[in-house]
Structures are given as C-alpha cells and as structure tokens.
Homo-oligomer: A and B are copies of this chain.
C-alpha cells in the first residue's frame, strides 16, 4: 500500500484550559475517533482566547496538517473570539448566516427562553466558511479551507463537540482519500503494576509493530490497547485478534474484560443479558458504584438500588449487620462485608449484591489494616431463594483517596464480570 496517510491536528481553545485548571479531554477523544478512521493525529495544541496566540496556533496547525479540528471559543460572549480569529487568518470579513440564526432562535424557543441579543454573534462566520448546525446547543460550528488544510471549528462543550463530530466531521472525512483501514481491540487488566505488565509484553510493544500495542493506566486498571492497520477493516480486525490470542496467556488471571465499551457498560450488558438485578452496599466507595452504573441509560432495569453505609449505625440499621460482628471484626472486615452484601440483597430483593468496606485514607489506617485495605463481598440469590455470599480483601496501594476508591470500584466490576 502506498497511500499517504491523512495527517490531523487538534486545537483546544479557551482561557479556562490554560489558566483555570480545566483539563482538556476533547483532544484525546477527537484523536481516538479520527484514528479509528485511519487518520494519523500528530499534535494537540491548547491555547487561550488571546487573539494573536490563537491565530498563530490555528494557522501553524493548518500548515502542518491536512485536517485540523479546533474546539472552543464559539460562545456568545466577547471573550470567545475563534470566529474573528479564523476570519483574520483567512483575511476575510465575518458574514451573518441567516440559517444559523434561525437555528439559534429555534433552540431558544424549544426551551421557552428569551434570546439574548448577544447570541447574534454566534450566527457570524468567516465569509468562505460553511456553517455546521449544532443540534445540541446554540453555537453553530463551521468548516473552512485554511493553508490547504480542512479546518473544522466546533464548540468546546464536550457533549456538543461529540454530536457535531459525528454529524459533520466524520462523514466529511470518510469521503476523503488517505484513510487506512484500522481495527482496535482492548483487554482490561487488574493486578500488576504498569512496569511489570510492560516488561511481560515487551516483545509486543516495539514501535512500528502491527497491531501497535500500548498500555494505559486509569484508576488502578490497566488497558492493553491494540490498533491494527491493513487493506481492509476485516483484515485489520483479524490481525488484532491474532495478537490478542497471543496476549491472553501472558495476561493470565489479571485479564478480566475485553471489548471497546467502558467497563461499566460491559457490566450493565452482562447483567441485562442474564436478566439479573443488582444492589450495592457501599462504605468506602460511598455511592460511586451506584453512580457509575446509573450514569448509563437502561440501568434502571438492572439496578434495584443501593445503600451508602458510612457509619456503623447505618450498617446495622439499614443493612442488618449484627453489632457483635462490627465489634469483633471491625467495620473493615470480610465478615462485615459479607453481612452488608447479604443485607443489600435481601432488602432490595435483588438477584445479587456487592458490598465494599475499606480505608480510603488519608487517615484511618493501622498497622494491620493500612490505608488501601478494602474488603469486598458478592452475595448471590440461589433459585431456591437462599443467599450465598463470598468475601475477599484487596490491599490497594495508597496512592491517594481517589485512587483507592476508583481501584475499589474496578474490583467490583471485575467480580461482577467473572
């Protein structure tokens, strides 16, 4: 194959990204979507609303790449200047786009809200640009050619950006040449350190290998990602599966999930497929398990409910954990976890229930139960109606409260996917 790949860059715009600690997640999302089409993303730039800096950043990206996707700075307020800056880079005036204005008016009518006059600015775009309608917000985007690059400008709100990427950018890009068929696979791993896993997979991680194998860490879970390229998507997928087959024995018992969906999505799908309902009894995870599952549409068919039982009184009163269990073993113990899971399973009339109780830190640790000690239990209702439960303990490295809680939630998902 001699096709030159299409080169893309991403520009994220907004003072809040540079000066207010807001993390740019748009770029990584856009890159992932573009690379699935076989486009090579070579750079992200994050720049503020300062017109001079912004113009230089957009123009130089358009000189280096074939495709540039910029997000942000399309709001109605005067500190949003992306429209003016792109027009200046083109040496063009702004024009008022009547159709965009109509869509903005309709958006406000839908929510029965008055239209602030400042929103008229959002219907302006560079003379030679094509407006891109925004079905989920007031800011239309636009597409324009600048320095031989196709430049797409989308709103910075992630929800609006994602919809507009799907409705406008991806369909346009799919018609272009230079797309190399790709496929992806993802294996989810809990247990080893990133270094240990990297050492074990070393021979797969050489640069230039096809499929490319990479490891990313998030909340204590490691994801082994495969990106394969070939003449067709099916061939690329076959290459990925071939490598996945070699990887599985090396990942051993650490491997707990496969697929491109998020782990909570896989859990919800598995429970829904088995028509199993679930309940949670959460102490150290404090509602995170329930919150992550209920973020998914369709979770109400599966989740009966949950109890966040932080205090011993709550564990006793609401989950029926016997006081002598709490006294004898302490709140962070396998017998208490087991009683919590059983209590949630009974009280919510669920098919299964998971309990977490642990020490998330920064304080509360002891020599025998250091920060990061978390006890889990999974209770399962038998066909006879009786409930079986098993409990286990994980010593999570104390890399901060958020890490311990996130890692504990992944342990819950692991248990539910077994």
B294 touches A287 (CB 8 A): yes
One of A95-103, A308-316, A379-387 at the interface: A308-316
Interface of A is mostly: mixed
Report how far A118 CA is from B217 CA in the complex, Å. Answer: 17
A178 within 8 A of partner (CB): no
A75 within 8 A of partner (CB): yes
Given contacts A194-B75, A198-B75, is CB(A136)–CB(B42) below 8 Å? no
A53 touches B43 (CB 8 A): yes
B77 touches A215 (CB 8 A): yes
One of A86-94, A165-173, A250-258, A398-406 at the interface: A398-406
Copies in the complex: 2
One of A22-30, A143-151, A410-418 at the interface: A22-30
A306 touches B304 (CB 8 A): no
Residues of B within 8 A of A303 (CB): 286, 308, 310
A293 within 8 A of partner (CB): yes
**Nearest-CB distance from A280 to chain B (Å)?**
7
A176 within 8 A of partner (CB): no
A288 touches B286 (CB 8 A): no
A310 touches B305 (CB 8 A): yes
A273 within 8 A of partner (CB): no
A181 within 8 A of partner (CB): no
Residue in contact with A23 in the complex, picked from B28, B287, B318, B349, CB distance below 8 Å: B28
B159 touches A399 (CB 8 A): yes
Instruction: Scan A60-82; emit 1 where CB is below 8 A from any B CB, else 0.
Output: 10000000000000011111000
Report how far A76 CA is from B48 CA in the complex, Å. Answer: 34
Instruction: Scan A338-358; emit 1 where CB is below 8 A from any B CB, else 0.
Output: 000000000111000000000
Given contacts A43-B46, A57-B43, A287-B291, is CB(A78)–CB(B310) below 8 Å? no
Nearest 4 A-B pairs (CB), nearest first? A286-B294, A77-B198, A287-B290, A287-B287
Chain A interface residues (CB < 8 Å from chain B): 14-25, 27-29, 31-32, 35, 41-51, 53, 57, 60, 75-79, 111, 113, 116-119, 136-138, 157, 159, 193-196, 198-199, 201-202, 205-207, 212, 214-218, 223, 225, 227, 280, 282, 285-291, 293-295, 297, 299-300, 303-311, 313-314, 317-318, 347-349, 361-363, 397, 399-403, 405
